[in-house]
Amino acid sequence: MNLFCIVGCIEELPSLKETATGVKTCSVMMKVDRPFANSEGIYEQDLIQVEVWRGLAETLCARTHVGDCLAIKGRIASRRYDKEDKTYYNYAFVAEKIDFLSKKLGTNER
The single-letter DSSP state of residue 107 is -
Dist. CA 90–CA 21, nearest whole Å: 23
How much of the chain, in percent, has pLDDT values that exceed 70? 94
Q: What is the bridge-based pairing of β-strands 17-18 and 4-12?
A: unpaired
- pLDDT value at position 46? 97
Q: Which of 105, 26, 10 is nearest to 64 (CA)?
A: 10
Mean pLDDT computed over 62-69: 95
**By C-alpha distance, which of 72, 70, 74 is closest to 100?**
70
Domains in the chain with CATH codes? 9-35+45-102 (2.40.50.140)
Beta strands in the chain (DSSP E): 4-12, 17-18, 24-37, 43-53, 69-83, 86-102
Q: Name which residue leads in pLDDT, 71 or 108.
A: 71
